[in-house]
Structures are given as C-alpha cells and as structure tokens.
Structure 1
Amino acid sequence: MPIDASALPSIGRHRLPNRVILAPMAGVTDRPFRQLCRRLGAGLVVGEMVTSDPSLWHTRKSRLRMDHRGEPGPRAVQIAGGDAAMLAEAARLNAEQGAEIIDINMGCPAKKVCYKAAGSALLRDERLVAEILDAVVAAVDVPVTLKIRTGWCAESNNGVRIARLAENAGIQALAVHGRTREQRYTGHAEYDTIAAIKAAVSMPVFANGDIDSPEKAARILDYTGADAVMVGRGAQGNPWLFGEIDHYLRHGQRLAAPSAAQRREVMRDHLATLHAFYGEHMGVRIARKHLGWYLARHASDAHAVKALRARFNALENAQAQQYFVDQLFRHPADARPMASDGISAA
C-alpha cells in the first residue's frame, strides 16, 4: 500500500519522497552518479565532500564537485573542515550558489581528513563540535544536516551526546554510520547506538552502514526506529538498490531484478554521462572503477571478473568502453557477457 506522506522524513521544508538516501562518498557521488541514483529511486542524494577552504575551490576537482547543474532539488552539499568560521563561510557561499541543504561531515574516517582535525576527528572535541554547528546553522537560511559515526573508538562512543548537541544547535537531520572512526570500514556496523540516538532526539535520524539489500534496510529501520536508511558502498555497481529498497518498504516484497537489457542500458548511460561530464580523457579513467563495481556485483566467477576488468582498464577511449559493454551482453564467445543471472564463465 502507498506510504502515508506524513510518515516520510522532512529536512526543514523539504519532504523526502521515500526513505532511501544516497550517502556522500568522495570520488563516487559525482553529478553523473547522483543523477543516476535519483532516477533509479533515491529520495535524496548528497554530493561529494567539499573542503571548507574557499581558496581551494578554484581547482578543477573542486569545481566539478560543486557542479549541480540540471539536478532536481533539494540539492545537498557536504562541507568538511575543522574551523567554525571557515565552515560557516563555506556554508554561506554554497547556499548562495544554489545549495538547498548543507551537510557537515563529521563522519569521514580517512587519515588525510582526520589529520586536519576534520571529519570524524571532530568527535573527540565536543566543544568544537558545538561551536561548528552553532556557527554553520547561524550562517545560512537553508537546513543544515550532520553526518557522524558512533564515536572515535569503542571507548569513546559519544554518538548520543553529539546528537543532542546537534539538535540543540538546530541541526535538521542526523545521519549516523554504525561504526567508530577507529573501525573505518572493517568489521560490521552496529545499530544499537543508532537506536539510542533516535530515542534521544526528535529530529530525523538516518541509519547508515552495511545496507546492501531491501530486507536488511527494512530490518534496520524496524530495529533502530530511524526515519530513513542512507546507502553508501552498497550502491556502488548497484544503483538499482534504491528502487528495490523503496519498493520493499512500500509493498513488503522484492522488486524484480533488472533485466540484462536494463543493466546494459544503465551501464551505457552511466559511462556516457561520465565521458560528457569529465571529458573523454578523465571520464574514461573514472569509468574504470564504476565498471569494475558493476562487474563485481553480478559476478559468478571472480577470475572471469578480474580478466574482464583488466581488459576494460586497458581501453583508452569512450567508444571502446561503450563497445566493451555491448560485448558483455551480445557476444558470449568474445566477452563472457553478463547474462540475466550473472557473468558467464564459459
């Protein structure tokens, strides 16, 4: 049965169309991938992390990360840094350029981010967290959201305290990855802390971490009481996951898996948008990781996938990459193509 609109989460004035969100991922959630995930069912997509230092925005990398042309709203931009005044100014400038939601990164575990006292490193300094949140919320008229981990380490699991600080500062929604910074992406996400956070605050809470199937998304929502799930690595090579989760939450049953023809069309379109967005030289190189993820998601033979990835990574132009995708589906003898149930290892 249709979901009651009143049960769907809101971020400020923005009511989300469903309970499935694409997590911000550096090097992954660029404009082509965001648009693809939105088309395939994501209710909200968040852009790649952008540094809060405006002096670095002149680089091509930053300009591309801040490019939201043609995207439907609400456009969500994530900023990262460790200086409250600089983050506030970054939020203001991004809002002036069309950002409709500002997200603050306090969840990234990468060393190069944490060494600059940003990302999840901020969780060790609750006074600074409060200062940053107050400054950013005061700087803009658009909703501000926050993404965190459960804490810095198992002995410093302060997610509930951070969540209360966030709500007191006026943060409009909180995404929580069920790992500490020390865990990075090892082991398994835990959801007890997310449940405790949801019980402690009244703002929307989004559960993040190891969500890779519709059934797991439903279990996590039920267990934590979270308002939505935020999908990160589970969407790499599997952008159909958003629509599958949304369908399962609405109807309680699995959506039919995409056909071989549908997968081929999505892969070709994704490559084409990467080539157009980045230009052929850079687009061809960025396409390699995405094609590798697509192959791995539907693999029945790891050795075959490794060989196919090596062949694709050797291609140097857009036309050859598109032809390769066609070969995957059309010429079994030449490319061991992806069939409806996986990659043949013939």
Structure 2
Amino acid sequence: MQIGPYTLKNRLVVAPMAGVTDRPFRVLCKRMGAGMAVGEMLASNTALWSTKKSLRRADHRGEPDPIIVQIAGGDPAQMAEAARLSVQQGAQIIDINMGCPAKKVCNVAAGSALLRDEALVARILQAVVAAVDVPVTLKTRTGWSRAHNTALRVAKLAEDCGIAALALHGRSREDMYHGQAEYDTIRAVKAAVGIPVLANGDIDSPQKARYVLDYTGADGVMIGRAAQGRPWIFREIQHYLDTGECLPPPEVAEIREVLLAHLDDLYQFYGEYSGCRIARKHIAWYTRGLEGGNAFRQAMYQLEDTASQRAAVAAFFDRLAEGGDRLRYLTESAVCQD
C-alpha cells in the first residue's frame, strides 16, 4: 500500500488509541508485523504541547518510518499550525482525527463532532493539506448517527481536498464502540474514491481481516482494540493473508519475553511511578483469557513498584510454562480457527 512517497510493507495498520498507542506500543506492533502505526491524538492547540503528557505523545525517537502524528481540533488555522509544527518536529505523515467519539473531544467541536458540519470539515482539510508538504490522511466514522450517514460525502470531500488516504470506522459517533461495525459504508466509499481506504472496526482475527478486505475492497485494515495485549495479531493476519493458514498460538516463552520487553520499554519511557501504573492495563490485556489470569491480575494491581510488578509477571508466565509450551486460552476469541 502506498501513502504519498511511502510504500508500506503490508496492509496492516495500528489504529490510534489515546492512552495506548504510545511509542513503546507502536514500536512493538511494527516489530510484530504492522506496516504502519498512528500516534496518539494531539490537541491542535500547540500552547498545550509543553505538558509532560503531550511531550510523551509527540515522542517518536527511534521509531521505524513512517512517523505519523494525529492532530485533533475544530479550528482550521489552529489545525494547520499544529500540522506545520509537527512536521518541523519530524512527522512524515499528518493524520486528522474526525473519528473520536469521546465526549470531552466532541464537546469542543473536534473528533467525530465535526461530521455535523461538512463545510467546516472541508475548511480543515484544505487548511492542513495546504500547510504541509507531507501526506495528510483522515480518520473518520460513518457519520454523527446511523440516521445521518455522511461518509460518502466526507470521503469525496477528502479526495477533492488532497487527502492521501482515508481510514473509516464502520460505526457512527452515536454508536460509540457498541454493537457491530458495518462494512457496507466502507465498501461504498472505496468504490466511490480513488485514494487508499483503510477499513476499521471489529477486525479481531485473521479470518475477519480477510473477510473485510474481500467484502469492502479496502486497501488495508486498521486494527485497534484487538491488538491490546496481543501485538502478534499482525503477524497472524499477514500469515493468513499470505497462506490461508493459521499460525499456531504463541509459545509461553515467547509471550513472556515480549511482555517483559514491553514492560521494560514502558518503565523507561514513563519512569518508575507512571510506568508501573500504565503497565497495569497492558499486563491485564496480555493475561485476559489465560488460566489463572484473574487471580493474578487482582494481586498484580496491588503492586506499587516496577521491580515487583515485573517479577510477578515473570513468575506468572513461568507457572504457565510448566503446563505446556503454548498459551492455552480459556476462551476461543483470541485463537485463530479455520
């Protein structure tokens, strides 16, 4: 898949997720097979960029290309300035957020709230594209509500304004993350525009990725929640797309190594206090559905320092390894099935 001058190694993209897709997670997913990873959302008000949180979100040191910075806001001039500054700081692709359904984002007329004002959508797209000499992409939803599906018009606006690629979540803002994503709109958008289209929403297995690609005709898929605690999903999907066969579940020893390395990166990135607390959710995701996982998580949440947290994780996976050399999930949702 081609976005501007960048040829991606495959059609698998990590979705931007606030509080999740930090630099350690993006680097890990790329190492596990993702062709591209979009950074966490940055507010377009650059006066806020000096906070510790924003500085971390903008940190792409050592990350494999392409470097993608996502910006969110409702003022065209402010969005353009945020794009310019991001490029000055190393961004190779600018992504515009018109998909976030969170109230705190929509209440300031940003994210998916913009889908209620297509004229403003056009002004923002035009301003950002004109402000930078790197590709600009757009992440959006099917509309503000299912009754007001604006995806086709917004997609054509995006193409006319010079947007290089479009990622479309098959839900409206009203849907939030409830129910099932619908792919008919993505299919219609792909048929109507000539720019690359990424399908997003409920893609949680190799088979689902294959189905969505075939049904929608999309150029690629964007994976979000399914990669939480399961970054190897990208290699699983790519292997299935290449061969039609499922990879076996990962070995306990490998997942132990992956998680411990991820924790070390988090501790280094965030420091002792924040690193320990941010790591909790990742550990919980890695261990969901595993035998003994619930009791382990309840004990792990009580640990207050990184050394004891890391040691507890190592011990948990060592106990799993005693029962065999592959992870045994209590549910089948995380297992590739033919």
User: Normalising by the residue count of structure 1, what TM-score does the alignment of the two structures yield?
Assistant: 0.93
- Residue 10 (structure 1) aligned with residue 2 (structure 2): yes
1:51-101 superposed Cα distances (whole Å, 9 cap, x missing partner): 000110010000000000011111001000000000000000000100000
Alignment of 1:300-319 (within 5 A): 300=291, 304-319=292-307
CA separation in 2, counterparts of 1:39 and 1:225? Answer: 26
Alignment of 1:197-236 (within 5 A): 197-236=189-228
For residue 4 of structure 1, what is the aligned residue in structure 2?
A: none
- Residue 323 (structure 1) aligned with residue 311 (structure 2): yes
- Alpha-carbon shift at residue 338 of structure 1 (Å): 9.2
Gaps (5+ residues) in structure 2? Answer: 331-338
For residue 115 of structure 1, what is the aligned residue in structure 2?
A: 107
For residue 264 of structure 1, what is the aligned residue in structure 2?
A: 256
1:168 aligns with one of 160, 174, 193: 160
- Does structure 2 conserve the Cα–Cα contact (< 8 Å) formed by 1:337 and 1:343? no
- Alpha-carbon shift at residue 340 of structure 1 (Å): 2.0
For residue 290 of structure 2, what is the aligned residue in structure 1?
A: 299
1:159-181 superposed Cα distances (whole Å, 9 cap, x missing partner): 00000000000000000000000
1:10-57 superposed Cα distances (whole Å, 9 cap, x missing partner): 110101100100000000000000000000000000100000001100
2:138 aligns with one of 130, 136, 146: 146
- Alpha-carbon shift at residue 331 of structure 1 (Å): 3.4
Distance 1:26 1:203, change over 3 A: same
- Alpha-carbon shift at residue 283 of structure 1 (Å): 0.3
1:87-128 superposed Cα distances (whole Å, 9 cap, x missing partner): 000000000100000000000000000000000000010000
CA separation in 2, counterparts of 1:315 and 1:198? Answer: 48
Distance 1:169 1:343, change over 3 A: closer
- Alpha-carbon shift at residue 299 of structure 1 (Å): 2.5
Alignment of 1:120-131 (within 5 A): 120-131=112-123
- Does structure 1 conserve the Cα–Cα contact (< 8 Å) formed by 2:253 and 2:325? no
For residue 83 of structure 1, what is the aligned residue in structure 2?
A: 75
For residue 6 of structure 1, what is the aligned residue in structure 2?
A: none
Cα-Cα RMSD: 1.5
Amino acid at match of 1:307: A
1:340 aligns with one of 317, 321, 326: 326
- Residue 72 (structure 1) aligned with residue 68 (structure 2): no
1:300-338 superposed Cα distances (whole Å, 9 cap, x missing partner): 5xxx43321111111111111111111112236xx9989
For residue 24 of structure 1, what is the aligned residue in structure 2?
A: 16
- Does structure 2 conserve the Cα–Cα contact (< 8 Å) formed by 1:329 and 1:338? no
For residue 285 of structure 1, what is the aligned residue in structure 2?
A: 277
CA separation in 2, counterparts of 1:278 and 1:318? Answer: 11
- Does structure 2 conserve the Cα–Cα contact (< 8 Å) formed by 1:328 and 1:336? no
User: Normalising by the residue count of structure 2, what TM-score does the alignment of the two structures yield?
Assistant: 0.95
- Does structure 2 conserve the Cα–Cα contact (< 8 Å) formed by 1:330 and 1:337? no
CA separation in 1, counterparts of 2:323 and 2:79? Answer: 48
Amino acid at match of 2:9: P
- Does structure 1 conserve the Cα–Cα contact (< 8 Å) formed by 2:67 and 2:90? yes
Percent of aligned positions with the same letter in both sequences? 60
1:275 aligns with one of 267, 279, 298: 267
For residue 181 of structure 1, what is the aligned residue in structure 2?
A: 173
CA separation in 2, counterparts of 1:260 and 1:130? Answer: 49
1:238 aligns with one of 193, 211, 230: 230
- Alpha-carbon shift at residue 339 of structure 1 (Å): 6.4
Amino acid at match of 1:110: A
Amino acid at match of 1:51: A
- Tell me the SS of whatever aligns to 1:292: helix
CA separation in 2, counterparts of 1:24 and 1:329? Answer: 29
For residue 255 of structure 1, what is the aligned residue in structure 2?
A: 247
- Does structure 1 conserve the Cα–Cα contact (< 8 Å) formed by 2:169 and 2:181? yes
- Tell me the SS of whatever aligns to 2:178: coil
CA separation in 2, counterparts of 1:308 and 1:96? Answer: 45
CA separation in 1, counterparts of 2:324 and 2:228? Answer: 17
For residue 5 of structure 1, what is the aligned residue in structure 2?
A: none
